[in-house]
Amino acid sequence: MARRTVGIVMNGVTGRMGRNQHLERSILAIRHQGGLDLGDGDVLWPEPLLVGRHAGRLRALATATGIERWTTDLGAALGDPETSVYFDAQVTAARVPALHAAIAAGKHVYCEKPTAETLADALALARAAEAAGVAHGVVQDKLFLPGLLKLRRVIDSGVLGRLLAVRGEFGYWVFEGDWQPAQRPSWNYRSEDGGGIVLDMLPHWRYVLDHLFGGVRALSCTAVTHLRERWDEAGRRYDATAEDAAFATFRLEGDVVATINSSWVTRVYRDDLVVFQVDGTDASAVAGLRDCRVQHRTMTPRPVWNPDVPSPIDFRAGWAEVPDNGAFDNGFKAQWEGFLRHADAVGRGAPGERAAPGGQTAPGARAVPAERAAPGARYPHDLREGAKGVQLAELALASWREGRWLDVPELPA
Ligand SMILES: NC(=O)c1ccc[n+]([C@@H]2O[C@H](COP(=O)([O-])OP(=O)(O)OC[C@H]3O[C@@H](n4cnc5c(N)ncnc54)[C@H](O)[C@@H]3O)[C@@H](O)[C@H]2O)c1
């Protein structure tokens, strides 16, 4: 068995996502399991090179995680011949120039969503990566949640019949920061710093809708800034200029209607921080982060409106739990493994592994998660798919501003 090292420049790892999900629960977890078994007798060993702006924070992170290499010089990291992959979990506003520099240096690139703040920038990144022939990918973690993987299994089985409607509820209370510290970074609440719930969440909803329920064809969105002042990490009061709740309706292919509410200013009275209900002609399904439940038409009770008496029906009792039927790994780690396999294949010149310039997921075809993609297939979560998320966010903001429905066109090549 040969062990091959893959050097990964990891930028933004002192942040919440970069450290917790990507460095610790993905890359270090892969090392902890002995590397990534490629199935052909070879094992990939990820070797991170941590990059950031503050030497002190990087040194502390390196010490805490046992990673030897770190630098505050991105250019030097990109020039290091020992590294072949660049990963970016910086604040969104800092992502575009760093990704362009990495592509120009010939690195395979993988990054957090949204890939950019505008569709023009997101498309330019996708085109640059395609032209350079490097592997490219964007985090689409919700597809790898156990609850949504089970929901996908249920949909693929056909048991729901024809899909009719989808309802998504996402949100929780993000503390204001004065009387209790906020549990999200303050830039999220300043539009001038790339914040706002539309740019943060609509990219997620794009791939969830496209992959599970049908391609998004049109949308209407309204948003609001409920809380206009908050307190930052240092306890300083600031003006919250970005929207903190968004209410969107989507028309999907196949006449499916989806509504998704996203809010950082709501209190949770549901089983999970995000819950999707999908109703079909033959059955309905409800999925959260880990669980999925189904009610078939044969198990559907007959409710009669009568508020004068307590409900004779225990509505939740009539749903069947979808079994795990397997172990689910951390979704971020599962996607990292898929991307590293793809980048390794591209690096070794495997036929068909390069993203076709202008390649699109065919309308009507549901993209396949990387772990199920046939060898040689285009990476299903690439920068072009990332650009679709930015496109939806941009259209949602325009719909809100203009107060009207907008069509979602195919991405230009
Ligand atoms: N996939 C998901 O579910 C998910 C969830 C939350 C955030 N995100 C995305 O991950 C990225 C990082 O979000 P986060 O919540 O970890 O943010 P964070 O503020 O915790 O971390 C941001 C990182 O970027 C660095 N940085 C670089 N330039 C900066 C600048 N000019 N100002 C401030 N920080 C700068 C910081 O040092 C830090 O390492 C964002 O693009 C966000 O959209 C994704």
Mutating to test ligand 1, I would choose from 9, 50, 91, 186 the residue with most ligand atoms within 8 A of its C-beta, which is 91
Q: How far apart are the CA of 51 and the centre of ligand 1, in A?
A: 13
Q: How far apart are the CA of 90 and the centre of ligand 1, in A?
A: 4
Q: Between the CA of residue 109 and those of 10, 51, 89, 133, 136, what are the distances in Å?
A: 10, 15, 11, 11, 5
Please list, in sequence order, all residues whose beta carbon lies within 8 angstroms of the beta carbon of residue 204, skipping any fewer than 6 positions away: 113, 140, 142, 389
- Please give the pLDDT value at position 367: 44
Length of the chain: 413
Instruction: Pick the atom of ligand 1 nearest to 94's CA.
Output: 28
Q: From first to last of its 413 residues, what are the pLDDT tens digits of the chain?
A: 799 999 999 999 999 999 999 999 999 999 999 999 999 999 999 999 999 999 999 999 999 999 999 999 999 999 999 999 999 999 999 999 999 999 999 999 999 999 999 999 999 999 999 999 999 999 999 999 999 999 999 999 999 999 999 999 999 999 999 999 999 999 999 999 999 999 999 999 999 999 999 999 999 999 999 999 999 999 999 999 999 999 999 999 999 999 999 999 999 999 999 999 999 999 999 999 999 999 999 999 999 999 999 999 999 999 999 999 999 999 999 999 999 999 999 999 875 564 433 333 333 334 444 444 444 568 999 999 999 999 999 999 999 999 999 999 999 98
- Please give the pLDDT value at position 350: 76
What is the chain's Cα-based Rg? Answer: 22
Instruction: Pick the atom of ligand 1 nearest to 18's CA.
Output: 16
Which ranges of 269-377 does DSSP label H, i.e. alpha helix?
331-347
Q: How far apart are the CA of 158 and the centre of ligand 1, in A?
A: 39
Q: How far apart are the CA of 318 and the centre of ligand 1, in A?
A: 42
Q: How far apart are the CA of 89 and the centre of ligand 1, in A?
A: 6
- Please give the pLDDT value at position 239: 98
Which residues sit with their C-beta closer than 6 Å to ligand 1?
Answer: 12, 14-18, 52-53, 89-92, 94, 112-113, 139, 141, 185, 200
Instruction: Pick the atom of ligand 1 nearest to 332's CA.
Output: 1
* Alpha-carbon gap, residue 76 to 300, rounded angstroms: 62
In the block, tokens 């909803």 appear at 205
- Please give the pLDDT value at position 361: 35
Please list, in sequence order, all residues whose beta carbon lies within 8 angstroms of the beta carbon of residue 130, skipping any fewer than 6 positions away: 136, 355, 356, 357, 358, 359, 383, 384
* Nearest CA-CA partner of 237 in 189, 279, 296, 280: 189
What is the DSSP code (8-state) at residue 288?
-
Reduced to 3 states (helix: H, G, I; strand: E, B; else coil), residue 23 is helix
> Token digits for 181?
């510290």
Minimal-distance CA residue to ligand 1 atom 32: 91
Instruction: Pick the atom of ligand 1 nearest to 12's CA.
Output: 39
pTM for this predicted structure: 0.94
- Please give the pLDDT value at position 364: 33
Other CB atoms within 10 Å distance of the CB of residue 4:
14
Q: How far apart are the CA of 88 and the centre of ligand 1, in A?
A: 9
Minimal-distance CA residue to ligand 1 atom 34: 91
Specify whether the CB–CB gap between 374 and 328 falls below 8 A: no
* Alpha-carbon gap, residue 328 to 312, rounded angstroms: 37
Minimal-distance CA residue to ligand 1 atom 26: 90
- Please give the pLDDT value at position 376: 53
* Alpha-carbon gap, residue 413 to 409, rounded angstroms: 12
Minimal-distance CA residue to ligand 1 atom 15: 16
Specify whether the CB–CB gap between 50 and 62 falls below 8 A: yes
Q: How far apart are the CA of 289 and the centre of ligand 1, in A?
A: 22
Instruction: Pick the atom of ligand 1 nearest to 187's CA.
Output: 19
Instruction: Pick the atom of ligand 1 nearest to 200's CA.
Output: 43
Q: How far apart are the CA of 335 and the centre of ligand 1, in A?
A: 19
Axis crossing angle, helix 383-402 with helix 119-132, rounded to the nearest 10:
170
Mutating to test ligand 1, I would choose from 17, 61, 187, 274 the residue with most ligand atoms within 8 A of its C-beta, which is 17
Minimal-distance CA residue to ligand 1 atom 27: 90
What does 39-94 look like in DSSP terms, one character per residue? SSSEEEEEEEEEE-S-HHHHHHHHHHHT---EES-HHHHHH-TTEEEEEE-S-GGG
Instruction: Pick the atom of ligand 1 nearest to 92's CA.
Output: 41
Minimal-distance CA residue to ligand 1 atom 35: 91
162-201 per-residue burial string, b: 16 or more CB within 10 A, e: under 16 = ebebbebbbbbebebbeeeebebbbbbbbbebbbbbbbbb
Q: How far apart are the CA of 192 and the centre of ligand 1, in A?
A: 15
- Please give the pLDDT value at position 1: 77
Instruction: Pick the atom of ligand 1 nearest to 93's CA.
Output: 31
> Token digits for 132?
């350079």
Q: How far apart are the CA of 97 and the centre of ligand 1, in A?
A: 15
Pairing mode of beta strands 36-37, 42-51 = antiparallel
Q: State the amino acid at position 6 in one-letter form.
A: V
Q: How far apart are the CA of 92 and the centre of ligand 1, in A?
A: 6
What does 162-217 look like in DSSP terms, one character per residue? SEEEEEEEEE-BPP-SSSS--SS-GGGG-GGGT--HHHHHHHHHHHHIIIII--EE
